[in-house]
Amino acid sequence: MLLTMGNLRLNFLGAGLLLPTLALPAFAQDIFSEADYERNARQVIARDGFPVLNFPEMRDAAKADRELREDEPVIGVFLGNEAKAYPISVMGSHELANDLCGKIPIAVSW
């Protein structure tokens, strides 16, 4: 399931997106043949390579509607009377956000 900004509706990923391609173009085969699958992830991404977001700036819903695409995937948090949305486009480069929802500390992870 994928939560999006468009009325915060739930969408299911099409099965076609999950199926592997039967034939790769020649340029893709070259890329995969040169890949070093034995490398340790720590060699590729340094420790703390993804900075944590601490108390990110939030926008009201009207401004977010103007700034985000309707189909922008978000992580939604609903707690009490408060709702927050963390766009995947932002979370992808941070992976973790420390925030408050009301007065309750939360950690949002991607």
What confidence score (pLDDT) does residue 63 get? 87
Place of tokens 């700034």: 67
| Number of domains comprising the chain | 1
In a domain, 57, yes or no: yes
Range of the domain at 73: 2-20+50-109
In a domain, 72, yes or no: yes
In a domain, 75, yes or no: yes
Q: What is the pLDDT of residues 60-105, one digit of tens each?
A: 888 888 888 889 999 999 998 899 999 998 888 888 999 999 889 9
In a domain, 84, yes or no: yes
Does the structure show a pLDDT above 70 at 49? yes
In a domain, 37, yes or no: no
- pTM of this prediction? 0.56
Lowest model confidence (mean pLDDT) among 19-23, 25-29, 67-71: 19-23
In a domain, 91, yes or no: yes
In a domain, 39, yes or no: no
